């Protein structure tokens, strides 16, 4: 067993001593949408279970004739022959069915400005945006890059693309100009939709300059940039290319007919970090993605669209923002809250103030946020009325039992069930999660597969491990919202996910089954880090570091961090000409920020004389991880030069 597997094992041993169980209250269980019969139904119906859900959750213009075509595995086709429009499903049909006056989005800006959109208003805005984008030449199949803050225009833009059949590629606003450009190039996007900026910690924060910088170098496929006015800061303007949202969208016609697209028509591309330096464009299509996101949103959160107020705190730049902000809540006709800013602006009680104000009943957030609130202290949320909260969700990384208990007690009033949802950009929707009215929850475990999903934990040979053992998390059967590929790279798709084990999707995560068969996630087993629930690749940051003229070599590891889960720690060897002083650390951190984005800036950069390598030249990251986490260094016998770790230790003592 490798050291890291050993460490994961030790962590799991501690978790096994977790004896606490929280069954749903009788009251909750009795009224819950998901009953034990849902699992039974999924088992007995097999793949047809998903046909039932596709018809229950969505309006199809043309019904499908085949539920799943897996003949070209691993390239799946779901709901074959079916035709539907995602935006029609999220908007028009609610209006047609008399729900036009229901609030779809309550928006709260960081400075405190508010806007609410009813379903009728949001439908009208999306129709206008669709007309505007079409007038700029966007057609079915074209790619549109979206580089926007958390404002309603982000949702409007995504749905306008879906309405046309254009494929959106949202790039998180915290990514740099270079990262934006490489994503624009890879997808050959035609249009960028951005904003002058947003507000961050009480101050205007710019976005448009990054778009300008991204498009500076010649040869881009972009013909227009649509700019939303958000913070009214002055921006540079390229005549002929840049247009204001107000000028093109607000003046457009509000008549727009949604044409139905094939169930397998591409809906979006979302780039995520893999184990190489080049991000992967994860491709999702329409019918399957919408079915599973809507289904899970309804049952995992026990959603009552007439009365609930749902709040998913994820940014639109991540998959959680796609599945559980833009698509599922609107498909399900829910009312949701969207908040632009940071949790501590203007004070550390902002989130709880928002919950009280909007009577949020379902909160879906990440463990890193919960741990931050724990640090700030329970007195802050205690000042607010959180009695509206009835279901809590967690996503993005393993939630430690202390954070889980705090979440339950302080935010959930000791009674709201917590659903710890495991899934990925690639899976599109929840795959492992308790059902809030059925599962007796365990602090720290995601527990059971969603009805209709076949996950397992297997050993090196791909054999299912018995309860009480650990291994690799896999998915054994295709699922509706599975990725359909990596944009432009079918080989990489097969290689990355389908080559490790025969006929199984390998998720890249380690996991264990406890004595009851419940699943505990143990983190990534590959070179992908999870910082504050955001995926970063060690290789990508290493490439960024070595692209700086002062750096000869770099190795990056994820080290445990109390708040962010993992933190980026970089070891660098400088070129002979470069000076090792404080400035170089700041310079390199900023360089990574420029190359990838502020989220990728290493927490620590350690300048070292050598890096530990095997005889074949592979960097032994686990030894560096020991150093980064302040542990005694593990077995170093396979090093080509076994004095390297001593040299590193000596250099760090200096
Ligand atoms: O390691 C797992 C972790 O996040 C990875 C997926 O990251 P991303 O594609 O950015 O999507 C994040 C939001 C779905 C997984 O491979 N992860 C996600 N949810 C959990 C989790 N780890 C433990 N428990 C979770 N609930």
Which among 275, 422, 532 is the best mutation to test ligand 1's pocket, defined by most ligand atoms within 8 Å of the CB? Answer: 422
One DSSP character per residue, 147-205 reads E--SSHHHHHHHHHHHHHT-EEEE--TTS-HHHHHHHHHHHT-SEEEEESEEEETTEEE
Atom of ligand 1 nearest to the CA of 521: 23
- How confident is the model at residue 543, as a pLDDT? 87
**Chain center to CA of 262:** 26
Cis previous bond, 346, omega within 30: yes
Q: State how far the alpha carbon of 429 is from the alpha carbons of 51, 295, 424, in Å.
A: 17, 9, 7
How many A from CA of 423 to the centre of ligand 1?
5
pLDDT tens-digit readout, 54-103? 999 999 999 999 999 999 999 999 999 999 999 999 999 999 999 999 99
Q: Is the CB of 317 under 6 A from ligand 1?
A: no
The per-residue pLDDT for 581 is 75
Domains of the chain: 26-510 (3.40.50.12780), 532-653 (3.30.300.30)
Kindly state if the Cβ of 153 falls inside 6 Å of ligand 1: no
**CA–CA distances in Å: residue 223 to residues 31, 136, 261, 270:** 53, 8, 25, 21
CB of 272 closer than 6 A to ligand 1?
yes
* Ligand 1 centroid to residue 509 C-alpha, Å: 9
pLDDT of residue 11: 56
pLDDT attached to residue 649: 85
Q: How much distance in Å is there from the Cα of 528 to the middle of ligand 1?
A: 11
Residues 538 and 276: beta-carbon distance below 8 Å: no
Q: In the prediction, which pLDDT does 86 show?
A: 98
Of 204, 257, 339, 248, the closest CA to residue 92 belongs to: 257
What is the model's pLDDT at position 48?
98
Q: Which residue CA neighbors atom 26 of ligand 1 most closely?
A: 422
pTM equals: 0.92
CB contact at 8 A, 226 and 191: yes
Ligand 1 center to 90 CA (angstroms): 26
Q: Is 280 in the pocket of ligand 1 (CB under 6 A)?
A: no
Q: Tell me how far CA of residue 543 lies from CA of 63, 548, 551, 555, 600, in angstroms.
A: 48, 9, 10, 9, 12
Which pLDDT value is given to residue 1? Answer: 42
Task: Determine the Cα–Cα distance for residues 475 and 410; give it in Å rounded to an integer.
Answer: 35
Closest CA to 433 of 414, 453, 413: 453
Q: How many whole angstroms from 549 Cα to the centroid of ligand 1? A: 34
| 535 Cα nearest atom in ligand 1 | 10
The residue whose CA has the least distance to atom 14 of ligand 1 is 424
- Alpha carbon 449 to its chain's center: 19
Nearest CA to ligand 1 atom 8: 424
Which are the contacts of 141, defined by CB distance < 8 A and separation ≥ 6?
165, 166, 167, 266
**H or E stretch including 571?**
strand 565-574
Q: Is the CB of 76 under 6 A from ligand 1?
A: no
Distance 573 CA to ligand 1 centre (A): 32
Strand partners, 197: 206
Residue nearest to atom 24 of ligand 1 (CA): 398
Contact 51, 43 (CB under 8 A): no
3-class SS of residue 401: helix
CA torsion angle 463 468 472 477 (round to 10): 60
Nearest-atom number in ligand 1 for the CA of 426 is: 9
Ligand 1: residue whose CA is nearest its atom 10: 535
Low-confidence ranges of the chain (pLDDT < 70): 1-17, 654
For residue 179, report the distance from its CA to the centre of ligand 1, in Å: 22
Contacts of 393 (CB under 8 A, 6+ apart): 300, 301, 312, 362, 363, 364, 365, 418, 419, 420, 421
Query: Which residue is closest in CA terms to ligand 1's atom 25?
Result: 422
> From the CB of residue 612, how many other CB atoms can be counted at a distance below 10 Å?
26
Quick check: CB of 524 below 6 Å from ligand 1? Answer: yes
206 close to 148: Cβ distance less than 8 angstroms: no
For residue 628, the SS3 value is helix
Query: Which residue positions form the known binding site for Mg(2+)?
Result: 546, 548, 551
Q: What backbone torsions phi and psi does residue 124 show, to the nearest 5 degrees? A: -65, -45
């Amino acid at each position: 067993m490798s050291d890291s597997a050993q460490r994961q094992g030790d962590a799991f041993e501690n978790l096994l001593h977790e004896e606490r169980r929280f069954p749903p209250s009788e009251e909750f269980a009795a009224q819950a949408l998901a009953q034990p019969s849902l699992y039974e139904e999924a088992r007995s119906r097999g793949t047809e279970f998903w046909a039932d859900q596709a018809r229950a959750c969505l309006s199809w213009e043309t019904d499908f004739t085949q539920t799943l075509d897996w003949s070209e595995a691993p390239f799946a086709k779901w709901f074959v022959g079916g035709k539907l429009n995602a935006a029609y499903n999220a908007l028009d049909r609610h209006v047609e069915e008399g729900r036009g006056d229901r609030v779809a989005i309550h928006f709260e800006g960081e400075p405190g400005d508010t806007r609410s959109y009813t379903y009728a208003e949001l439908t009208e805005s999306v129709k206008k945006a669709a007309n505007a984008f079409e007038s700029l030449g966007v057609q079915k199949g074209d790619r549109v890059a979206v580089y926007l803050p958390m404002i309603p225009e982000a949702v409007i833009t995504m749905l306008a693309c879906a309405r046309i059949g254009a494929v959106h590629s949202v790039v998180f606003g915290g990514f740099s100009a270079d990262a934006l450009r490489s994503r624009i190039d890879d997808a050959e996007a035609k249009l960028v939709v951005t904003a002058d900026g947003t507000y961050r910690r009480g101050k205007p924060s710019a976005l448009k300059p990054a778009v300008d910088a991204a498009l500076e170098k010649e040869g881009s496929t972009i013909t227009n940039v649509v700019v939303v006015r958000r913070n009214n800061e002055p921006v540079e303007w390229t005549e002929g290319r840049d247009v204001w949202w107000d000028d093109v969208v607000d003046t457009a016609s509000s008549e727009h007919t949604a044409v139905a697209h094939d169930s397998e028509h591409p809906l979006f591309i979302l780039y995520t970090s893999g184990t190489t330096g080049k991000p992967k464009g994860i491709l999702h299509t329409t019918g399957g993605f919408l079915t599973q996101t809507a289904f899970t949103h309804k049952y995992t959160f026990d959603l009552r669209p007439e009365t609930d107020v749902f709040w998913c705190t994820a940014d639109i730049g991540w998959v959680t923002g796609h599945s559980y902000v833009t698509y599922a809540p609107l498909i399900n006709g829910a009312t949701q809250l969207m908040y632009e800013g940071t949790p501590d602006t203007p004070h550390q009680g902002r989130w709880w103030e928002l919950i009280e104000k909007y009577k949020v009943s379902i909160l879906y957030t990440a463990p890193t946020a919960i741990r931050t609130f724990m640090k700030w202290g329970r007195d802050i949320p205690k000042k607010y009325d959180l009695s509206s909260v009835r279901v809590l969700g967690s996503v993005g990384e393993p939630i430690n039992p202390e954070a889980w208990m705090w979440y339950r007690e302080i935010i959930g009033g000791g009674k709201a069930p917590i659903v710890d949802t495991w899934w990925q950009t690639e899976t599109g929707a929840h795959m492992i999660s308790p059902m809030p009215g059925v599962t007796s929850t365990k602090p720290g475990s995601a527990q059971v597969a969603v009805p209709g999903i076949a996950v397992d934990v297997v050993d090196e040979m791909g054999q299912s491990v018995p309860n009480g053992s650990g291994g690799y998390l896999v998915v054994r059967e295709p699922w509706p919202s599975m990725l359909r590929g990596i944009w432009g790279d079918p080989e990489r798709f097969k290689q990355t996910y389908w080559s490790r084990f025969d006929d199984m999707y390998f998720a890249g995560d380690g996991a264990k089954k406890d004595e009851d068969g419940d699943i505990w996630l143990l983190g990534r087993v590959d070179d992908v880090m999870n910082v504050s629930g955001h995926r970063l690749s060690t290789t990508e940051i290493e490439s960024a570091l070595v692209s700086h003229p002062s750096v000869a070599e770099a190795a990056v590891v994820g080290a445990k961090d109390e708040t962010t889960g993992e933190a980026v720690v970089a070891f660098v060897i400088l070129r002979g000409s470069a000076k090792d002083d404080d400035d170089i650390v700041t310079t390199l951190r900023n360089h990574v920020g420029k190359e990838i984005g502020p989220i990728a800036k290493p927490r620590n950069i350690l300048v070292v004389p050598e890096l530990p390598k095997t005889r074949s030249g592979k960097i032994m990251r686990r030894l560096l991880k020991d150093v980064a986490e302040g542990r005694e260094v593990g077995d170093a016998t396979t090093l080509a030069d076994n004095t390297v770790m001593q040299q590193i230790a000596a250099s760090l003592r200096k």
